[in-house]
Amino acid sequence: MFGRDRDVAALTSHTAEDFATFYAKKVDTIRAATADRPTPPPAADAAHCSWSTFRQLSAAEVRGLIMPSPMKSYTLDSVPTFLLKEFVDVLLPYVTNMVNPSLSQGRLPDSETRPCYVAAEATGI
């Protein structure tokens, strides 16, 4: 169910170039669709506080949080969970370097703060 039993090692017709082309086209489509929109307001200032006693997590601790997490992904996830888990050892230094400052500063990097718009069907209420 939900791709858990799929063979991720099997050959597919998809290539890295296909993947890059798909996302480049997706970005171009979004930019074209929003080109006439007003510039969004500036991002909020950084938090003016921090955890003075925050202990940085080791890569092993971050890995220990990632691996048992459920195989769920959300539209705004930068990387789908199954890919994060599959390549955790490659991505771990980068994820750890995002997690520690994020927790110690109490905020996400600007690159990870995106609004989520969900279209709702009118129910006649």
DSSP H/E element including 68: none
Non-local CB neighbours of 2 within 8 Å, separated by 6+ positions? 71
Residue 113 in this model has a pLDDT that exceeds 80: no
Domain layout of the chain by residue ranges: 56-105
pLDDT in tens, 31-89: 898 888 887 776 666 556 656 677 889 999 999 999 998 888 777 777 888 999 999 99
**Reported pTM:** 0.47
Q: What is the pLDDT of the chain when averaged over all its residues? A: 78
Q: DSSP alpha helices (H): ranges in 8-124? A: 16-34, 59-66, 81-86, 88-105
- Are the beta carbons of 84 and 91 closer than 8 angstroms? yes
